[in-house]
Amino acid sequence: ISWSASTKGTSSISASLRIARNAVDKGDYEVAAIEYEKVLQMDSTHLRANLEYGLLLFEFLNEPVKAGRYLLHAEKDSEKDTLPEIFFGLGRYYHFIGDNPTAILYYQRLAPYIQTKTKDGKILESDVNRSIASCHFAIKNSIPVIKQISIRNL
């Protein structure tokens, strides 16, 4: 009995992932998000679901902070073949939230995986180098954050 339940769960996960990926390909991002959430309800540590959902949130649903949570889960459970995608996603996440030193570290960790002999690899390398330069600029030109501001009517 437990074997059939396990198979059913795996089958449901596979089906939801397939639906989510097809929805992304069609530009139906809300449907994709629902399907990724279904997978993560069944298995919160599912590597591909965390990674793909995190990237979907960042790239298409304009929820970069929420994306970070899923990308961090994916990194924790990652395998070597998924590291470049995770490094790029987390680099962009940390860059977005203003943690530029950490963003640089993730971008640098991605660099050895970039296939610079291909057109897409050269484009990615350029994007990563531009992002690193942007982070360095932000660090160099950062303005201290004022912790508390009070305004009084005069």
* Residues above pLDDT 70, as percent of the chain: 86
Residues 6+ apart with CB under 8 A from 132: 104, 107, 108
Examine the pLDDT at 154 and tell me if it is beyond 90.
no
In a 10 Å sphere around its CB, with 0-12 CB exposed, 13-18 middle and 19+ buried, how is residue 27 labelled?
A: exposed
Residue 6 pLDDT level (bands cut at 50, 70, 90): very low
Examine the pLDDT at 42 and tell me if it is beyond 80.
yes
- Total length of the chain: 154
Examine the pLDDT at 8 and tell me if it is beyond 70.
no
Label residues 89-121 b or e (16+ Cβ within 10 Å = b). bbbbbbbeeeebebbbbbbebbeeebeeeeeee
What's the token pair of residue 109? 């960790």
Structure confidence at residue 9 (pLDDT)? 58
Examine the pLDDT at 130 and tell me if it is beyond 90.
yes
Segment 54-111, tens digit of pLDDT: 999 999 999 999 999 999 999 988 877 678 889 999 999 999 999 999 999 999 999 9
Residues 6+ apart with CB under 8 A from 138: 98, 100
Supply the pTM of this predicted model: 0.77
